[in-house]
Amino acid sequence: MSVFDLKAISEPLTTQTGLAHAILQSLLNYSKAQANDRFDGKNKQGWWAEGMVSGIGCRDWTLSREKQTEDTRKRALRYTEQSLEWLVKDNHLKSIDVTAYYQDDRLIREIIPTLPDGTKLEPVVL
């Protein structure tokens, strides 16, 4: 899904469009910072529906001022995996393979979802 598709909002999670939307929704919404996260301490962020829909959102926004280190890459990987684990726990996916690496001055995350039947879907790259 390379362009915004309003239809994706109502697509079921049994379709590739619905799953891609769920993955993007989970990664692009800010999850509330936890006590051990490094952030300015003033605003824990989070998104308005976090109290109603648990597990959707990512804490990678807390990395925005971090240097490009192996520790930062590992935390980005962990935050990405945590934000998507609900898809596996709720049996929408069998597994999710996540890799994170630096390319030039950006941290790239590649997500490869696997359906319950073992079919691997197109990678989602952020």
3-state secondary structure string, 9-67? HHCCCCCHHHHHHHHHHHHHCECCCCCCCCCCCCCCCCCCCCCCCCCCCECHHHHCCCC
Residue 121, helix vs strand vs coil? coil
CA distance linking residue 33 with residue 63, whole number of Å: 11
For residue 25, is it within any domain? yes
Q: What pLDDT digit, counting tens, does each position of 55-68 carry?
A: 677 778 778 778 99
On whether residue 67 sits in a domain, the answer given is: yes
pLDDT band at 37 (very low <50, low <70, confident <90, very high): low
Where is 78: in which H helix or E strand? helix 70-89
- Domain for residue 84, yes or no? yes
pLDDT on residue 53: 60
- pLDDT tens by residue, 1-20: 445 555 556 677 778 888 88
Is 1 contained in some domain? Answer: no
Q: Is residue 119 part of a domain?
A: yes
3-state secondary structure of 87: helix
Any domain includes 100: yes
Owning domain of residue 37: 6-125
Domains held by the chain: number = 1
Q: Please say whether the dihedral angle defined by the alpha carbons of residues 62, 66, 72 and 77, taken in this order, is positive or negative.
A: positive
Percent of the chain with pLDDT over 70: 71
Alpha carbon distances (Å) from 24 to 42, 66, 73, 113 = 26, 22, 19, 12
CATH number of domain containing 79: 3.10.450
